[in-house]
Amino acid sequence: MNNNALPYALGAILLGAVGIWFHDFALQWQPVPAGFPLRMQFASASGVLLIVGGAAILNRSTARAGALLLASAYGLWLLILHGPIVMSKPGDIGTWNGVAEIVFMIAGAVTLYAAAAGALRDKLAHGVCLAAGFSALVFGAAHFKYAHLASSESDLLGLCNRRWSPGRGIVAGERHQGVARRDAARGDDGAVRAAGARATRDCRAG
């Protein structure tokens, strides 16, 4: 078993399982339009792909194939889903935050791909470090813009847990906050505020 890849692999597997369970895409990472044809089917297929890639990484003999699969999938998310959003709103930090999150995920997959073949080459390691550093800078800048969203997440989870069971409260709170983060990735500030208000109202209503 490839223990070094365990956290990354589990992240991909759980993300895929959530997509299959909710029959939906991965919120801010996959901002697929609501009217997309065969949306539920493609969302489930995407979830299966993530699970397969994550499971493959855990096996040393298939680790490179799994890492390549995940890096390719995340790269497609970046180009097809986030590319048009960045082109339409290049000056909005929320759109770049979505890009940075995917870039960070790709950097992890590339690192695991290279590590499965031996030592990480200097040029590749330098590129991964630059990608991770870029992502961290964008994350920090996004927190300044969406400080109200970041600070309200713990309050929302506490409210949901008081109204419902802890497990259900965490799932519901994170689901609503995920919608808000997806809208932030699209650069839709109005939708972000609406998602936060809707989440609070739903938790209070129980």
pLDDT means over runs of 10, the chain (206 residues): 89 93 82 84 94 94 93 94 89 87 93 78 79 90 70 50 45 49 53 54 52
The pTM (predicted TM-score) of the whole model is: 0.71
Which class for 1: exposed (0-12), middle (13-18), buried (19 or more C-beta within 10 A)? exposed
Which class for 167: exposed (0-12), middle (13-18), buried (19 or more C-beta within 10 A)? exposed
